[in-house]
C-alpha cells in the first residue's frame, strides 16, 4: 500500500493562499468613506471568491463564500444561505434544467438540431453556421427571459458539438458558446417584452422625471442599438478566432443525423406542447402588456415566470404515456442535474446582490466618484461616462441595483443640465447598460451558466467579456443615446 502524505500541487496552493490573503487584507483594511467596513469585507470576499472560482475550483469556494459573507455583516449566515440556495433564480434555473432535459430526452432536441444542420443556408460555411446558431439565441431572448433562453441554447449548442464530433477540450465549442450566450444577453437587452430590467429602468425614469415612457419607445431604441452590438460581436469573434479548428464541419455528414429522425411519437409531442406552452406563458404578459393594461395581463404578471416553470415540471412528472411519466423526477434530480453548476450560479448571483447592499456603501461610493467626472465636460462625454459606469458595475454587481443606481444618477444629472442632456435618452442608455453583463458569474445567472458549462472556457469568457464591455459602452453611449434623443 502506498504511503499517504499531505500534498497539493504548488501552483494550486499558491492560488488559494493569495486569494485568502486578499480576503484577509480587505477584512482589516480601513474603509474610505462612503464605503463601510462591511463593504470592504464584502469586496474582499468578492475578489477572493471570484479568483478561486476561476483558478481553483467551481464548488467549494462558493460554499466558503456563503460562510464568509455570513461574517461580513452584510447578512447573517442563515440569510446568506437563503439568498443563495433559497433564491428564486436558483429554483427557476433548476426548473429550466429539468424542462430542457425533458425536451432532450424526448428526442425533440435531436430533431431540432438535425433540422438546423440540414438547412442549406446555414451549411454554407462554419462561420455562417455559428452566426446562425447565435442569431437563434438573439431572437429567442428578444421575447423571453434570458435564463431559460440561455439554458435552451446551451443544450442545443452542446448537442451540435457532439454531432460534429468535437470534444470539450476543442476551441470551437468555447468560442461558439460565448457567441450564443452573448447573443442571448444582447437579445434580452433589446426589448421590454418579458424583461423586468427594461421595465425597471423605465419606471425609475418616470418617477424621477415625471414623464411617461412607452414600451414602443424602448423597443425602437433597443432594437437598432442591440443590432449594432450584435454585428460587432460577430465581427470581433470572426476576426480574432481565425485559427479555431473548424475541420469537423468538412467531415460532417448531415445524412448521418437525418436518418435517425423518425416520426414524432406521442411522448415527444406532449413534451413539446408542455415546454413551448410554458414559453408562451413566459412571453404572453410582456407582449400583451404592450397593447393593453387589462386586468388579466396584471394577473398573469403576478404569477411570475417561476410559477409556470414549476407547473411545467409537475405536468411532465404526472402525465404518463404507456404507464410511464414523461420524466421520472426523482431520477432526474438524483442523476441528471449538475448541482455543482447550481451552487456556482447561486453564489454568483448572491455575490452581486451583496455587493449592491446599502450597508456596504459601494453604490454610494460609485455615485460620489462618478458625478465629479461629469463636470465641465461635453454632454456626450457625460453620457458615455455614465453608460460605461453602468456597464462596468453590472459586470460585477446586481443588474437590478446597477439600473436603479445609474438610471437615478443619469436622470438627475440630465435634469440639472438645463437641457444639455436628454433625460429620457440617458435613462434608456443606463437601462440597457444594466443588462449588458458578459464577464463574471456574479453579473448574471446566464454568465454563471456559461462559466459553469463543461463546453466553455472561462479564460476566453473574460477576454471577450472585457472587449464587449468596451463595445457596449461606446455603442450604447453614442448610437443608443442618439436614437433615444430622436425618439423623445
pLDDT for 180 equals 95
Q: Which of 465, 441, 447, 463 is nearest to 62 (CA)?
A: 441
At residue 100's C-alpha, the angle toward residues 96 and 106, to 5°, is 150
Distance between CA atoms of residues 55 and 33, nearest Å: 32
Q: What is the pLDDT of residue 340?
A: 82
Nearest CA among 153, 171, 173 for reference residue 163: 173
Q: What is the pTM of this model?
A: 0.81
Cell of 176: 461558439
| Secondary structure (DSSP) of 450-479 | HHHSTT--HHHHHHHHHHHHHHHHHIIIII
**How big is the chain, counted in residues?**
488
pLDDT in tens, the chain (488 residues): 678 888 889 999 999 999 999 999 999 999 988 899 999 999 999 889 888 887 888 789 989 999 999 999 999 999 999 988 888 888 888 898 899 889 888 888 878 777 777 777 777 788 988 999 999 999 989 988 888 889 889 988 998 898 888 999 899 999 999 999 999 999 999 998 878 888 888 888 888 888 888 888 899 999 999 999 999 999 999 998 888 888 888 877 666 655 566 788 999 999 999 999 998 888 888 788 777 778 888 888 888 888 999 999 999 999 999 999 999 999 999 988 888 888 887 887 788 778 878 888 887 887 787 777 777 788 889 899 999 999 998 998 778 878 888 888 888 888 888 888 899 999 999 999 999 999 988 788 899 889 988 899 989 999 999 999 999 999 999 999 999 999 87
Q: Say if residues 316 and 300 touch (Cβ distance below 8 Å).
A: no
Of 187, 136, 186, the closest CA to residue 160 belongs to: 136
* CA–CA gap between residue 481 and residue 310 (Å, rounded): 39
CA 405 to chain centroid, in Å, comes to 19
pLDDT of 51 = 86
Cα–Cα distance between 279 and 282 in angstroms, integer? 5
Q: What distance in Å separates the CA atoms of residue 488 and residue 484, rounded to the nearest whole number? A: 6
For the chain, what are the domain ranges? 8-24+31-84, 88-335
Residue found under cell 464530433: 165
Number of Cβ atoms within 10 Å of the Cβ of 120: 6
pLDDT given for residue 224 in this prediction:
95
- HSE value, Cβ hemisphere, 13 Å, CA-based, for 129: 25
H or E segment and range at residue 163: helix 146-164
Contacts of 18-27 with CB under 8 Å at 24 or more apart are: 18/51, 19/47, 19/48, 19/49, 19/51, 19/52, 19/55, 19/56, 19/61, 20/48, 22/47, 22/48, 22/51, 23/47, 23/48, 23/68
Cell numbers representing residue 64 in the block: 466558503
CB of 427 closer than 8 Å to CB of 404: no
Could you list the beta-strand ranges (E) of 169-236. none
User: Measured between alpha carbons, how far is 299 from 304 in angstroms, rounded to an integer?
Assistant: 9
**Which residues neighbour 119 within 8 Å (Cβ) at sequence distance 6 or greater?**
132
Phi, psi of 324 (to 5 degrees): -125, 130
Q: How far apart are CA 73 and CA 223, in angstroms?
A: 42
What is residue 119's three-state secondary structure? coil
Amino acid at each position: 500500500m502506498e504511503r499517504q502524505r499531505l500534498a497539493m500541487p504548488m501552483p494550486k496552493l499558491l492560488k488559494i493562499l493569495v486569494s485568502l490573503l486578499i480576503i484577509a487584507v480587505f477584512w482589516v483594511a480601513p474603509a474610505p468613506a462612503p464605503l463601510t467596513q462591511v463593504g470592504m469585507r464584502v469586496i474582499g470576499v468578492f475578489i477572493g471568491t471570484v479568483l478561486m472560482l476561476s483558478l481553483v475550483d467551481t464548488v467549494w469556494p462558493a460554499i466558503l463564500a456563503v460562510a464568509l459573507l455570513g461574517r461580513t455583516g452584510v447578512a447573517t449566515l442563515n440569510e446568506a444561505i437563503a439568498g443563495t440556495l433559497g433564491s428564486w433564480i436558483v429554483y427557476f434555473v433548476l426548473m429550466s434544467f429539468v424542462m430542457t432535459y425533458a425536451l432532450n430526452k424526448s428526442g425533440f432536441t435531436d430533431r431540432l438540431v438535425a433540422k438546423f444542420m440540414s438547412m442549406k443556408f446555414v451549411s454554407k460555411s462554419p462561420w455562417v453556421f455559428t452566426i446562425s446558431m447565435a442569431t437563434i439565441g438573439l431572437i429567442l431572448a428578444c421575447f423571453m427571459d434570458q435564463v431559460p433562453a440561455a439554458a435552451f441554447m446551451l443544450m442545443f449548442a452542446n448537442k451540435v458539438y457532439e454531432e460534429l464530433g468535437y470534444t470539450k477540450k476543442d476551441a470551437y465549442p468555447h468560442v461558439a458558446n460565448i457567441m450564443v450566450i452573448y447573443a442571448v444577453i444582447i437579445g434580452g437587452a433589446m426589448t421590454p417584452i418579458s424583461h423586468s430590467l427594461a421595465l425597471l429602468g423605465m419606471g425609475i425614469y418616470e418617477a424621477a422625471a415625471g414623464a411617461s415612457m412607452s414600451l414602443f419607445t424602448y423597443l425602437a431604441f433597443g432594437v437598432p442599438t442591440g443590432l449594432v452590438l450584435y454585428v460587432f460581436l460577430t465581427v470581433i469573434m470572426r476576426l480574432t478566432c481565425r485559427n479555431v479548428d473548424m475541420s469537423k464541419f468538412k467531415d460532417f455528414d448531415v445524412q448521418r443525423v437525418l436518418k435517425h429522425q423518425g416520426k414524432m411519437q406521442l411522448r415527444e409531442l406532449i413534451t413539446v406542447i408542455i415546454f413551448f406552452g410554458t414559453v408562451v406563458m413566459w412571453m404572453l404578459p410582456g407582449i400583451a402588456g404592450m397593447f393593453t393594461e387589462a386586468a388579466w395581463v396584471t394577473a398573469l404578471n403576478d404569477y411570475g415566470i417561476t410559477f409556470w416553470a414549476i407547473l411545467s415540471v409537475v405536468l411532465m412528472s404526472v402525465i404518463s404515456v404507456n404507464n410511464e411519466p414523461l420524466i421520472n423526477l426523482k431520477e432526474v434530480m438524483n442523476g441528471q442535474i449538475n448541482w455543482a453548476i447550481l451552487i456556482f450560479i447561486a453564489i454568483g448571483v448572491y455575490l452581486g446582490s451583496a455587493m449592491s447592499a446599502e450597508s456596504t456603501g459601494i453604490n454610494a461610493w460609485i455615485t460620489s466618484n462618478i458625478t465629479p467626472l461629469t463636470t465641465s465636460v461635453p454632454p456626450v462625454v457625460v453620457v458615455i461616462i455614465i453608460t460605461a459606469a453602468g456597464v462596468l458595475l453590472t459586470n460585477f454587481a446586481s443588474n437590478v441595483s446597477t439600473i436603479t443606481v445609474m438610471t437615478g444618477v443619469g436622470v438627475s444629472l440630465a435634469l440639472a443640465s438645463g437641457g444639455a442632456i436628454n433625460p429620457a435618452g440617458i435613462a434608456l442608455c443606463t437601462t440597457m447598460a444594466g443588462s449588458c453583463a458578459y464577464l463574471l458569474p456574479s453579473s448574471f445567472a446566464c454568465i454563471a451558466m456559461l462559466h459553469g458549462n463543461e463546453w466553455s472556457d472561462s479564460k476566453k469568457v473574460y477576454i471577450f467579456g472585457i472587449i464587449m464591455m468596451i463595445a457596449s459602452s461606446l455603442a450604447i453611449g453614442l448610437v443608443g443615446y442618439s436614437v433615444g434623443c430622436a425618439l423623445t
